[in-house]
């Protein structure tokens, strides 16, 4: 009889889930709504119930399920305890223990960005690579370090928190984390919009460069990348700066952890080669000579990276 496992990716809106066999083939994927009522207290019970339903549908006996691997949007320490998960309303939650008790299955927990990185290293763009760093460019900048098929969580669960690498000592605005000058302030979707607005409001530039973005109201990162592709100078300057910050940060990662490959994912990866080429240009410029051959790819699993990573947490 085949063995199975479940990969779960908890987000602030929905929980994505997948049923996998022990070789990592996806049998079925589905999602349920994330119930944020009462500090998200029913989230884990909802997951257990949904898994039980699927188990019945496919008539899988409990002893043939290897476990549940789960990604959570918060810092996870070695013991599988989540310390404050703002998006879900959680304070300190022992995810492993609670979900094991409800489901009767083995549970392994990881940070969502790290679990997505594990998914890409398991079945995505970085399949077969021993050392991988994934950079997720979304509302924030997340990341994950994979080494020999395992996540490096870090001693305080901050392994791969690359959005908070300090990139500028002269930044005056504050990052969500409380510091000033974090990579996330320049290279997230929010950061790109922030910088574009700063450049648009810069009086010393306004006379010099007309811009299609001026007076548009609420800009999005997508609009900025599209304008850059069409030659808008302010948008191009924003993209250049974003790519420079990412390229420099990745050069630093390269002479610390020295991965073989960088995987770039998240919504902003949709910008495509205009972003990737800029990142690579600045990476090559500041990378330590031994690391200049580091590879760069876009993520390939999209929203499924998390459930694949969850499965890998169990398959090992």
- Contacting positions for its own copies (CB under 8 A): 75, 78, 130-131, 145, 147, 152-162, 164-166, 169, 177-179, 181, 248, 251-261, 286, 288-291, 293-294
Q: 3-class DSSP state for residue 261?
A: strand
Place of tokens 């602030």: 12
Closest CA to 117 of 316, 305, 310, 312: 305
Q: How far is the CB of 4 from its own copies (least distance, A)?
A: 29
| Helix axis angle, 305-315 to 112-123, nearest 10° | 80
Q: Which two tokens stand for residue 191?
A: 């950061």
**3-state secondary structure string across 39-88:** HHCCHHHHHHHHHHHHHHHCCCCHHHEEEEEEEECCCECCCCEEEEEHHH
Q: 3-class DSSP state for residue 267?
A: helix
Q: How far is the CB of 131 from its own copies (least distance, A)?
A: 5
Q: What distance lies between CA 121 and its chain's CA centroid?
A: 13
Q: Which is nearer to its own copies, 64 or 258 (CB)?
A: 258
φ and ψ at residue 230, rounded to 5 degrees: -90, 5
From the number of C-beta atoms within 10 Å of its C-beta (0-12, 13-18, 19+), residue 244 rates as buried
Integer Cα distance of 310 and 11 in angstroms = 13
φ and ψ at residue 283, rounded to 5 degrees: -60, -55
Integer Cα distance of 20 and 42 in angstroms = 24
Are 302 and 114 in contact, with CB atoms under 8 Å apart?
Answer: no
Q: Which is nearer to its own copies, 8 or 187 (CB)?
A: 187
Q: How far is the CB of 164 from its own copies (least distance, A)?
A: 4
Q: Which is nearer to its own copies, 68 or 249 (CB)?
A: 249
Q: How far is the CB of 245 from its own copies (least distance, A)?
A: 11
Q: Which is nearer to its own copies, 199 or 261 (CB)?
A: 261
Q: How far is the CB of 98 from its own copies (least distance, A)?
A: 22
Q: What distance lies between CA 253 and its chain's CA centroid?
A: 16
Q: Which is nearer to its own copies, 168 or 201 (CB)?
A: 168
Q: Which is nearer to its own copies, 178 or 215 (CB)?
A: 178
Q: How far is the CB of 55 from its own copies (least distance, A)?
A: 34
Q: Which is nearer to its own copies, 112 or 161 (CB)?
A: 161
Q: How far is the CB of 166 from its own copies (least distance, A)?
A: 5
Beta strands at 131-137 and 261-265: parallel, antiparallel or unpaired: parallel
Q: Which is nearer to its own copies, 4 or 262 (CB)?
A: 262
Q: How far is the CB of 167 from its own copies (least distance, A)?
A: 9
Closest CA to 164 of 187, 192, 146, 147: 187
Q: How far is the CB of 84 from its own copies (least distance, A)?
A: 10
Q: Which is nearer to its own copies, 166 or 190 (CB)?
A: 166
């Amino acid at each position: 009889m085949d063995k199975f496992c479940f990969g779960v990716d908890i987000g602030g809106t929905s929980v994505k889930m997948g049923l996998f066999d022990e070789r990592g083939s996806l049998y079925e994927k589905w999602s349920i709504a994330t119930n944020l009522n009462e500090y998200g207290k029913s989230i884990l019970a909802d997951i257990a119930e949904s898994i039980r339903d699927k188990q019945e549908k496919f008539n899988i006996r409990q002893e043939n399920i290897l476990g549940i691997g789960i990604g959570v949007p918060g810092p996870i320490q070695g013991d599988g305890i989540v310390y404050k998960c703002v998006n879900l309303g959680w304070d300190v939650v022992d995810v492993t223990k609670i979900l094991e008790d409800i489901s009767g299955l083995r549970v392994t927990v990881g940070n969502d960005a790290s679990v997505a990185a594990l998914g890409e290293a398991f079945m995505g763009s970085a399949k077969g690579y021993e050392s991988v760093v994934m950079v997720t460019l979304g509302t924030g900048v997340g990341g994950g370090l994979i080494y020999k098929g395992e996540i490096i969580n870090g001693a305080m669960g901050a392994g791969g928190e690359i959005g908070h690498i300090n990139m500028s000592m002269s930044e005056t605005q504050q990052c969500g984390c409380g510091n000033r000058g974090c990579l996330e302030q320049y290279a997230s979707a929010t950061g790109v919009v922030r910088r574009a607005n700063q450049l648009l409001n810069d009086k010393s530039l306004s006379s010099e460069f007309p811009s299609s973005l001026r007076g548009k109201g609420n800009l999005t990162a997508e609009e900025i990348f599209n304008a850059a592709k069409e030659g808008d100078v302010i948008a191009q300057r924003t993209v250049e700066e974003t790519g420079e910050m990412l390229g420099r940060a990745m050069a630093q990662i390269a002479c610390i952890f020295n991965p073989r490959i960088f995987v770039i994912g998240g919504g902003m990866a949709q910008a495509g080669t205009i972003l990737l080429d800029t990142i690579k240009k600045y990476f090559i410029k500041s990378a330590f000579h031994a690391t200049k051959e580091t590879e760069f790819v876009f993520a390939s699993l999209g929203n499924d990276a998390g459930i694949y990573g969850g499965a890998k947490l169990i398959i090992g």
